[in-house]
Structure 1
């Protein structure tokens, strides 16, 4: 009897040493290497694209310079009536190369456009041996809608908020990815814990089976007790084998999510119970600052811009164009830049809608209703967000109370399991009762671990609202 106990103790010590000899990692190892994940790389590239797109708006306000050139050649055969009434076919060959430089500048505060153009043209008639040069020294013009829709007024505001919104979404996606990795880690660690508990209780049942066999040999136990203990041991072995498959699947899922190669024999450390507090008012304030208000402010600006555009498109509009130019032409290029010809122009255009059968008014009414409806949606969304925060807080306190309750239950269950073992050896408890107590003990430990892990995942959800990454 004493010899068998020594063997069991030796096995437990060896198993413990094997555990510590295994490669051990914690959840921070995976979260700190989040950059290996393909989802993280995709998110980073998407954010890079959005930053470039936001920068395009600023570049659209800079001058645009375009160089154009063409060398058109034309050959034509036309019929020409001669003085004597006969028709003669004459071939004509023309060459008209040109080169031009155009510069445009958008004026964001007025919505107008300044244009500056320069060009040189050459015309050659090969049949008549005639050449001509012409030059547009400078042609400066300004075009302005006096009371029209100005894109810049709205796009600047929207673009500024969009940049902040894109940054917030990037960090929120990083936190969501951390949540996915943490969830995969927790699933793998929970199945690992279950295997450990099953193995631990198998060793206890093996010990009990040896004790009952000894009692059976001396007539102090019946054969049924031995058979029930053997059946319990076989059941635990079956659960352990099934859980090993589940653990392998959860490890594979963790590898795929984190994109990190890990050994199947790796030992995952438990997360443990974390401590944090939730302030409802502060959480609502941060939630409104981080994404909620920005997203709806963008929608409000878009609605106002749409209303402004529809109003101005359906009303009388005034457009102003003015400019000046210096031009010259000559048969020889050496004489092209002598005295230029001057031109100036001023154009005032008016567009007055007379009859559109009320279409403009209907479009304006639609825009008004959409803007009003947007306000209702904002309030509705805000209430939904606040309700979600309240549910998170309630869930937090539920988890905390359940964890404390389960801790006490586990302490009592461990004591009860030891008592059942002693009572079973004394014949005061049956093998079936001892088996049920073992399963109850395992289930309580697993459930407590799940609650602690859920508390950790809840913290990541709170971090997403707080934008803590």
Structure 2
């Protein structure tokens, strides 16, 4: 008997341990998040955030490519080798054509250091090159190999009165890069806004599930009370059936609330990159930050920090660049100048002995005499587009300021409404608890109890809706100004590149 008791105790201990391990594993599958924790998790892991990071990296390398255009370029060119064995038709002085056998090889190498002149749009370079020619069918006694080359020369290529792409790129590309960096911060804040919506979609589904479970329990308790009263002849049969119908409706509401909770969890896990089997436990962010937002200050911050503010300057500059491009296409003048030395020899070292002077100056000209109004149309179109950009930007500036003004006012209104719904929720909850106790003692009818319950549920949902609106507006305000009003710090600080 004693052995059986010990065996029974051991079995209980094993079952308890297994149960504890199961509960521990179950607890590990459930992840608890606050709103700010989940927002940060989404910024670090969500596909949308990762795409924004990829775009930021692409913009960075595009800017690096632009900057490299203004650095010296050392370039090696050449052909190694160019061998040919064929018959070439050679025209003779009398007009006849004689096929001549060719068996030769040509090799050339060149090294040049090139630098863009950003102010003028020209290019200056320092070059050296060498060439080797091998004639494998040379006559006996004739040299088979010849060398030629340019020990050094300096070349300048300078467009005159032309569109200077380098000058305009130097004004536009830094604006584009700065705009892209601010857009990245804005995209991160948009991720915050979206995940906040998902957070409250799940949280409200979680609250609805808790409401449905509480209502189902209370309705079952009420049904049990009314069945006893019906047995005593106090509650009529039709009222009992009505309460039974309420039990069935509560069961249906419970099933719908559970389905909504699972659907919200699926959407949340997909967005933030969690496993679909992970269970979420979201903490209601009821402790809202206390700070005031001044409209003028918010507008000032938006113009100071937002990508759109940079974008307006960039649009104007691009429009001016198009006008300059149209003006530069009216006629084209190109100056080419080159000065240096060249030589030819049968031995490679002799190329650098007493080389000959090499000089070249040329001015190319292309001026349309009759273009049927093409230049005028091109110029007029560019100027009309510039005027359109100016007018569009002026209107966008007004809309931009109006948007900030509206969002700040809306935030202040939502904050006030949240305080009202918080009190209403507390009052409705206490009223229902009192009504339930009075119903249990027979001092309140089932109709009044149902009204109290509906008001309790309605005010609870209104409170969480207002809470959602507050936090969405909170992150919208951050995105619109790139400023954290709670901690009084900038979300983006320009860096010197």
Which TM bucket (shorter chain)? 0.7 to 0.9
SS in structure 2 opposite 1:72? strand
| Corresponding position of 2:177 | 163
What pairs up with 1:284-295 in 2 under 5 angstroms?
A: 284-289=299-304, 290-295=306-311
Change (3 A) 1:273 1:383: farther
Task: Give me the whole-angstrom Cα distance separating, in 1, the residues matched to 2:352 and 2:41.
Answer: 69
| Contact kept in structure 2, 1:228 and 1:431, CA below 8 Å | no
Corresponding residue to 1:182 among 196, 216, 221: 196
| Contact kept in structure 1, 2:151 and 2:351, CA below 8 Å | no
Residues 254-285 of structure 1 deviation map (CA, whole Å, 9 limit, x = unaligned) = 10111123766542111215234322112212
Residues 76-119 of structure 1 deviation map (CA, whole Å, 9 limit, x = unaligned) = 3368999xxx9986533222222222332111122111122222
| Corresponding position of 1:95 | 105
Change (3 A) 1:90 1:166: closer
The answer to whether the aligner puts 1:449 opposite 2:464 as a matched pair is yes
The Cα shift of 1:307 comes to: 0.5
| Contact kept in structure 1, 2:299 and 2:481, CA below 8 Å | no
Task: Give me the whole-angstrom Cα distance separating, in 2, the residues matched to 1:176 and 1:79.
Answer: 72
| Contact kept in structure 2, 1:212 and 1:425, CA below 8 Å | no
What pairs up with 1:245-394 in 2 under 5 angstroms?
A: 245-261=259-275, 265-272=279-286, 274=288, 275-289=290-304, 290-315=306-331, 317-394=332-409
Change (3 A) 1:128 1:138: same
Give the paired residue count.
449
Residues 396-454 of structure 1 deviation map (CA, whole Å, 9 limit, x = unaligned) = 24323433333343344334424543554566654344224312211210111111111
What pairs up with 1:120-131 in 2 under 5 angstroms?
A: 120-129=130-139, 130-131=144-145
| Contact kept in structure 1, 2:212 and 2:257, CA below 8 Å | no
Task: Give me the whole-angstrom Cα distance separating, in 2, the residues matched to 1:88 and 1:111.
Answer: 49
Corresponding residue to 2:76 among 54, 67, 76: 67
Corresponding residue to 1:421 among 436, 452, 464: 436
| Corresponding position of 2:494 | none
SS in structure 1 opposite 2:352? coil
Task: Give me the whole-angstrom Cα distance separating, in 2, the residues matched to 1:336 and 1:375.
Answer: 61
Task: Give me the whole-angstrom Cα distance separating, in 1, the residues matched to 2:89 and 2:419.
Answer: 106
The answer to whether the aligner puts 1:203 opposite 2:217 as a matched pair is yes
The Cα shift of 1:40 comes to: 1.5
The Cα shift of 1:241 comes to: 0.9
| Corresponding position of 1:11 | none
Question: Where does structure 2 lack aligned partners over 5 or more consecutive residues?
Answer: 1-23, 484-490, 492-497
Change (3 A) 1:113 1:132: same
| Contact kept in structure 2, 1:198 and 1:442, CA below 8 Å | no
| Contact kept in structure 2, 1:73 and 1:96, CA below 8 Å | yes
Residues 351-381 of structure 1 deviation map (CA, whole Å, 9 limit, x = unaligned) = 4332222221222122122111111111211
Question: Where does structure 1 lack aligned partners over 5 or more consecutive residues?
Answer: 1-17
| Contact kept in structure 1, 2:205 and 2:257, CA below 8 Å | yes
| Corresponding position of 2:158 | 144
| Corresponding position of 1:53 | 62
Corresponding residue to 1:233 among 210, 224, 247: 247
The Cα shift of 1:33 comes to: 2.0
With structure 1 as the length reference, what TM-score do the two structures score? Answer: 0.87
| Contact kept in structure 2, 1:180 and 1:257, CA below 8 Å | no
With structure 2 as the length reference, what TM-score do the two structures score? Answer: 0.83
SS in structure 2 opposite 1:336? helix
The answer to whether the aligner puts 1:398 opposite 2:408 as a matched pair is no
Task: Give me the whole-angstrom Cα distance separating, in 1, the residues matched to 2:408 and 2:75.
Answer: 60
What pairs up with 1:215-230 in 2 under 5 angstroms?
A: 215-230=229-244
Task: Give me the whole-angstrom Cα distance separating, in 2, the residues matched to 1:194 and 1:111.
Answer: 68
